[in-house]
Structure 1
């Protein structure tokens, strides 16, 4: 199974594709595309383009499941309207399941289960990697 951990930030989704290797350890695939940006959330053409890019990404990398790190719906740290549009577009990718994981669960998972991060993991992909690894190991 291949899972794609997603962290939505501002007008982009950050993507980390992970799978279990032969020893059952989580490994992250090194990909050229690590984020997809939604240029203008009021433009139908841009929304369709973003969704097409997600579909292409999922087909190209044989993604089974997208795992999205959730964001608060209200309060100081609430996600913006654009981030929820992006979330919806991810949920609409044909042939892929979408699951959610909350930040507290990811934090606990990182402290208790992750011994080492992949070599050369880009800082902005850390939460996306954790979401994918969480889905693979916690099922």
Structure 2
């Protein structure tokens, strides 16, 4: 199974491709590490949505796993971030799952990373997207 982990911050969607085949993880090369919404108008949002859909289609992802953000409080997500989330969720023929930080922590507690993140070859800013994808894959691997 190949998934695209997503971490939304401000007007950026940080992404990380991750696949699990026969219990072995692979981090395929991906042409994008971060997609940015430069223009918050309807046209800009549609452009972001089509760019994201093309990325998901080109890499034949089975699911998109979005790290859930708080809707209120000190660490609440921005309005633009929620627009990005909605734009991703509304892409036709794309399985989108919003995965809560509590579930991520629980999955990581049960299935710690076998190698340090620094050895994955990913950029540091991709760590939340990677851990989201990894935690979801591990949770579903053990439930199957």
Partner of 2:25: 26
* Contact 1:6–1:128 (8 Å) recurs in 2: yes
Q: Could you tell me how far apart the structure 1 residues matched to 2:64 and 2:13 are?
A: 11
User: What is the CA-CA distance between 1:9 and the residue it aligns to?
Assistant: 0.6
Partner of 2:90: 92
User: What is the CA-CA distance between 1:40 and the residue it aligns to?
Assistant: 2.0
Superposed CA deviations along residues 62-85 of structure 1, whole A, max 9, x for unmatched, are: 011111101110111110100000
The answer to whether residue 136 in structure 2 is matched with residue 128 in structure 1 is no
Superposed CA deviations along residues 81-132 of structure 1, whole A, max 9, x for unmatched, are: 0000000011012211111212233234334421213522211111111111
Structure 2: stretches of 5+ with no match in the other structure = none
Q: Could you tell me how far apart the structure 2 residues matched to 1:17 and 1:119 are?
A: 12
Q: 1:122 to 1:108 in 2, by over 3 A?
A: farther
Structure 1: stretches of 5+ with no match in the other structure = none
Q: Could you tell me how far apart the structure 2 residues matched to 1:94 and 1:2 are?
A: 18
Q: Could you tell me how far apart the structure 1 residues matched to 2:86 and 2:25 are?
A: 27
Which structure is richer in relative contact order (CA contacts within 8 A, separation 6 or more)? 1
Q: Could you tell me how far apart the structure 1 residues matched to 2:125 and 2:101 are?
A: 15
| TM-score, structure 2 as length reference | 0.87
Q: Could you tell me how far apart the structure 2 residues matched to 1:135 and 1:103 are?
A: 11
In structure 2, the residue corresponding to 1:36 is in which secondary structure? strand
| TM-score, structure 1 as length reference | 0.90
What's the C-alpha RMSD, in Å, of the aligned pairs? Answer: 1.5
